[in-house]
Amino acid sequence: MQDLYGLPITCTRDSTRRAIDDFIHGFISYQPKATGIIAAADADQDCALANAYAAMLWMFLEAPVAPQKAAPYIARARTVAQGSTPREQQIIAAVDAWTRGDVPGLLKICDAITDDHPRDMATLKLAQYHLFNLGDAPGMLRAALKALPEAADIPYAHGMIAFGYEQCHLLDRAETAARHAMSLRHDEAWAHHAIAHVMLTEGRIAEGAVFLEEVAPTWAGLNSFMRSHNWWHLALFYISLGRENEVRAAFDTHVWGLAKDYSQDQVGAASLLARMEFAGIDVGERWADVADHVAARGADTVNPFLTLQYLYALSRTGRAEAETLMAAIRSRAEDDSQHDHIAWRDVALPAATGIDAHARGDWPVAIADLARALPRMAEIGGSHAQRDLFEQIHLDALVRDGRASTAQQVLEMRRTYDPDGVPLNLMLGEVYTKTGLPDLAAEARARAQATLAAAG
């Protein structure tokens, strides 16, 4: 048989083939149908590829229990792998490497697969996911560009290329690739996501809000990550525009509540609440529910970028679990047996101690420790827009510690990509007042008022 992109698969049941196609398409388009691969693998234990994909899906749980959940499926896949194609055997080996924590080994295998099979969109997506978590933006772009020209007809390939360009700061090329993806399929949510990044980075705030509002109806049937994350991006535009009611509505309706136990939904909610508070928006009692669900994760150090946001949620709400997680971060930073040891030791640990100090109101320590980590935050993964949370925590500590001159420098640099943002300019007004520059304070406040007036 062949999968939906014409690649040979070893499969005897048509129902399993359909489930494999649903997994591949659901995975790259963020549709819930991808989860059907679990039942298909259980029903067809002799299909190695179906079981490898089921193991892969479990690993995307991004939780300490994920390898345990994936284990029986990857064991089945290995048992019956001998009769599979070489590509399928490579996929099994890649997922097996992931379950063992061997991400460099996984990436090496993915590279070999996409060299020979540029239409293998699932393997490309898997590679981009891990390269993203390592902060390897050029690697993300290189992996995606290998899809051309063979996969030029697949919109999702162009969406992945667009995000690779954006993470490399090649914004014009990113938008071109994303627009092309949309010309092939208007509802390509990852292309929408890439354009959101471009517009945020270029300070096209009002335009970005209009664009995302226009395409938002197409996200309704997507999985919780893609729906909540694209709405998270729209909420960032709302914050800049001073549209506080829309921010709260986006949080309550689309960002939090779709899959409260899922890692990405939790960090999206936590980071949005933090940004809302830094912008002076009243979040009411919203922190409590988010912190309850984060606390249930325990000492989760699967991914440093995620862990730091779990820590912020727990620290911000004064949860005792914050101390447990902080201890786990220190232990993880001391473990030199893992491929990402340096990122944990040199970046995640000082960022964590800075976050912990911020929660305790120890502004000097928060400022010093976050300043150590910020220049290298890309090493723990996440996008530019997501990592900006840590910049904002640092800025908040500067302001609270009365370091107005330093805060002025940071704020004016931020204004290069958010020139008329309401919270930013109101903060600048306060800083310029404290530094004895009333005319500049008045100009900043006037920019904020003009944005509010334009937004209605």
CA proximity to 90, closest of 66, 140, 56: 56
Cβ–Cβ < 8 Å for 363, 400:
yes
443 and 450 Cβ atoms separated by less than 8 Å: no
DSSP state of 298: -
Q: What is the pLDDT of residues 417-426, one digit of tens each?
A: 999 999 999 9
Number of domains in the chain: 1
Q: What is the mean pLDDT of residues 332-360?
A: 97
Q: Is pLDDT of 395 > 80?
A: yes
Does a structural domain hold residue 419?
yes
174 Cβ contact partners less than 8 Å away, ≥ 6 residues apart: 162, 163, 165, 166, 194, 195, 197, 198
The mean pLDDT value for 281-291 works out to 98
Rounded Cα distance between 390 and 377, Å, is 9
**Is the predicted pLDDT of residue 455 greater than 90, yes or no?**
no
Say if residue 251's pLDDT is above 90.
yes
* 431 domain residue, yes or no: yes
On whether residue 255 sits in a domain, the answer given is no
Mean pLDDT calculated for residue range 287-300 = 97
pLDDT at 63 exceeding the cut of 80: yes
pLDDT in tens, 112-125: 999 999 999 999 99
% of residues, the chain, pLDDT over 70: 100
Query: At residue 267, does pLDDT exceed 90?
Result: yes
Amino acid found at 431: V
The one-letter code for the residue type at 261 is D
pLDDT higher than 80, residue 340: yes
Does residue 281 belong to any structural domain of this protein?
no
Gap between the Cα atoms of 240 and 230, Å rounded? 16
The answer to whether position 404 is within a domain reads no
Q: Tell me how far apart the alpha carbons of residues 437 and 200 are, in angstroms, rounded to a whole number.
A: 29
CB within 8 Å of 15: residues ≥ 6 apart? 40, 43, 44
At 324, the pLDDT band (50, 70, 90 cuts) reads: very high
Residue 418, domain extent: 413-455
- Rounded mean pLDDT, 45-66: 98
pTM: 0.97
Cβ atoms 291, 319 nearer than 8 A: yes
Number of DSSP helices (H) and strands (E) in the chain, helices first: 25, 0
Q: Is residue 423 part of a domain?
A: yes
Q: What is the mean pLDDT of residues 422-431?
A: 97
210-228 tens-digit pLDDT: 999 999 999 999 999 999 9
pLDDT tens-digit readout, 132-145: 999 999 999 999 99
Q: Each residue of 266-301: b (16+ CB within 10 Å) or e?
A: bbbbbbbbbbbbbbebeeeebbeebbebbbebebbb
What pLDDT is recorded for position 436? Answer: 97
Q: What are 372's two structure tokens?
A: 């150590």
At 8 the three-state DSSP class reads strand
Contact 256, 286 (CB under 8 A): yes
Q: What is the mean pLDDT of residues 50-67?
A: 98
- Rounded to an integer, the average pLDDT of 406-422 is 96
Query: Could you tell me if residue 253 is inside a domain?
Result: no
